[in-house]
Structure 1
Amino acid sequence: MLEIRDVTRRFGKNIAVNGVALEIPQGQMVGIIGRSGAGKSTLLRMINRLIDPSQGSIFFDGSEVSALRGSTLRRWQRDCAMIFQQFNLVPRLDVLTNVLLGRLNHRSTALNLLSIFSREERAQAIAALERLDIARTALQAAGTLSGGQQQRVAIARALMQQPRMILADEPIASLDPLNAKVVMDALQDINLREGITVITNLHTLDTARAYCSRIIGMAGGKVVFDGAPEELTRDAVRMVYGADGDGSEISEAITSTSIRVHKPKLPASAGPLQPALERL
């Protein structure tokens, strides 16, 4: 059980997260939605302890995560893997080595300094890449891959940590719809097969509804919605996203990742080619 107890985070006079209280049982797949600046990324970074709460506390299985220091903090960051929007790979290193870096908090400092990985660790890394259908890129420099491929490498690296929880901060924000589906399918598969808690920030309502059993909506640093996908009604969406500048309801189309194919209208002068073009 992850418990977030009245957590607030301030940056100067700005309150990024304001009195958030949540309980997330082991094994849930949770989507956090909201406008940019709603506090979603700040909340995940506090859970992972990349930043500290200004007040409040965070517990996992009865241990106060927000009070951890030194080696116990490193163990928590091993158990709570983080996946970022910008992948955070080392571009000049090959894919296999990037995945093996997920083992750093499991190993001695000497082995890490010498970059010595066992045959078993290498086999585990290849298995993680095969699971994500990207093993063929193992010896390529990570920087040569597409965005969707790099995000799958980042997920493989997270699996190498053998985590108890995965936090994904806008993992599909920079991806096209097809790659976004591949990445979300991978996170859902990890959640269902391993029972690992997955908490992911998302901009897209259709993605949250399709993949998450629980959706948390944030606005102005506060939780304004917490429920099942079917409970995310028009009124709930308005609480999360507000209204457009003219006061009208926000359109869900602007948060959609759906693929839409639009056929261009052909001019009447297209001549004998028109029937053939219309069949394309």
Structure 2
Amino acid sequence: MLVLEGVSRRFGDKSAVSDVDLRIEPGSFVGVVGPSGAGKSTLLRMINRLVEPTAGNIRFEDRDTTRLSGSALRDWRAQCAMIFQQFNLVSRLDVLTNVIAGRLNHMPLWRSLTKSFTDAERTMALRALHRLGIAEVALKRADALSGGQQQRVAIARALMQEPRIILADEPIASLDPHNAKVVMDALRDINRRDGILVMCNLHTLDTARTYCDRIIGMANGRVVFDGAPAEFVGGVIEQIYGADGARIDERMTSTSLGVGGAGQPAPMPA
């Protein structure tokens, strides 16, 4: 169980996140939506401790993660993997090395600096790439890939951490609809097959309805909706996006992933 109690974050006089209380079950797929500046990215980064909460506590199982430091904090970040909108790959390195970087917390510094990876680590990375359907690009430079391929490399790197939680911060915002669907299908496959909690900031409302079993809506740093996708309609959307909520919903739906079949995921490579 991931539990947030009274979590807030201020930047000077600005309140980015205010008094958030959440209880998130293991194995959930949670979408976080809201307008720009609502506090979505700050919320995820506080869970991972890339941003420090100004107030409140974040607990996972029996640990208060807001009190961790040193190696314990590094271990928590390994268990709570982050996926970013801009992929955060090392562009001049090959794909396999970028994926193995997910194991850096499990190896001594000298091995990471000299890229002295074991056969087991290389095999694990190749399996992750195969699962994401891109094993054939393992030896290519990361900057030679398309945006969709780079995001799948980032997901493979997250899998190398053997995480309990995956936090995805606008993972499809810079992708075309086809690649966005491939990435979302991959995240849902990981969620369902591995039972990993996925918490994903999304800018497209229909994507949240299609993939998530729970939607959290934020506005002005506060959680103003927390419920099932079927409840995320009409007045709720207006509460989050203002008077133009219905128009925003229609526009975002029309430019969504084009996923049909009652939201059934496409098969992923074994």
Same fold, TM-score > 0.5, yes or no: yes
Counterpart of 1:222?
Answer: 222
Per the normalisation by structure 1, the TM-score is: 0.90
1:258 to 252, 256, 259: 256
Counterpart of 2:239?
Answer: 239
2:242 alignment partner AA: G
2:248 alignment partner AA: S
| Equivalent residues of 1:82, 1:166 under 8 A apart | yes
Counterpart of 2:32?
Answer: 32
Aligned-pair Cα RMSD in Å: 1.2
| Equivalent residues of 1:96, 1:139 under 8 A apart | yes
How many Å separate the matches in 1 of 2:257 and 2:5?
Answer: 39
How many Å separate the matches in 2 of 1:243 and 1:218?
Answer: 15
2:201 alignment partner AA: N
Q: Tell me how far 1:81 sits from its aligned partner.
A: 0.2
How many Å separate the matches in 2 of 1:259 and 1:93?
Answer: 31
Q: Secondary structure at the match of 1:154?
A: helix
1:36 alignment partner AA: S
| Equivalent residues of 1:241, 1:250 under 8 A apart | no
2:247 alignment partner AA: I
Q: Tell me how far 1:110 sits from its aligned partner.
A: 2.7
How many Å separate the matches in 1 of 2:235 and 2:216?
Answer: 14
Give structure 1 regions of 4+ aligned residues with deviation exceeding 6 angstroms. none
Q: Cα deviations across residues 9-41 of structure 1 (Å, max 9, x unaligned)? A: 000100000000000011000000000100000
How many Å separate the matches in 2 of 1:121 and 1:18?
Answer: 41
Counterpart of 1:204?
Answer: 204
Q: Cα deviations across residues 54-87 of structure 1 (Å, max 9, x unaligned)? A: 0111000020101100000000000000000000
1:119 matched to 2:119: yes
| Equivalent residues of 1:238, 1:250 under 8 A apart | no
Q: Cα deviations across residues 145-201 of structure 1 (Å, max 9, x unaligned)? A: 111010000000000000000000000000000000000000000000000000000
Q: Tell me how far 1:113 sits from its aligned partner.
A: 2.6
How many Å separate the matches in 1 of 2:184 and 2:60?
Answer: 25
How many Å separate the matches in 1 of 2:145 and 2:233?
Answer: 39
How many Å separate the matches in 2 of 1:44 and 1:204?
Answer: 17
State, as a whole percentage, how many aligned pairs show the same letter. Answer: 61
Considering only CA atoms, is the larger Rg found in Structure 1 or Structure 2?
1
Counterpart of 1:82?
Answer: 82
Q: Secondary structure at the match of 2:223?
A: strand
Counterpart of 1:16?
Answer: 16
Q: Cα deviations across residues 100-159 of structure 1 (Å, max 9, x unaligned)? A: 000001112232232211101101100100111111111110011111010000000000
How many Å separate the matches in 1 of 2:100 and 2:88?
Answer: 14
Q: Secondary structure at the match of 2:236?
A: helix
Counterpart of 1:278?
Answer: none
| Equivalent residues of 2:237, 2:246 under 8 A apart | no
How many Å separate the matches in 2 of 1:219 and 1:259?
Answer: 24
How many Å separate the matches in 2 of 1:76 and 1:110?
Answer: 22
Q: Specify whether residues 3 and 137 from structure 1 end up closer, same or farther in structure 2 by C-alpha distance, changes over 3 A only.
A: same
Q: Cα deviations across residues 175-230 of structure 1 (Å, max 9, x unaligned)? A: 00000000000000000000000000001111000000000000000000000000
Q: Cα deviations across residues 232-275 of structure 1 (Å, max 9, x unaligned)? A: 1201111111123xxx8433132233368xxxxxxxxxxxxxxx
Q: How many residues align?
A: 257
How many Å separate the matches in 2 of 1:122 and 1:47?
Answer: 30
Q: Secondary structure at the match of 2:171?
A: coil
| Equivalent residues of 1:102, 1:157 under 8 A apart | yes
Q: Which runs of 5+ in 2 are unaligned?
A: 259-270
Counterpart of 1:275?
Answer: none
Counterpart of 1:163?
Answer: 163
Counterpart of 2:148?
Answer: 148
Q: Secondary structure at the match of 1:225?
A: strand
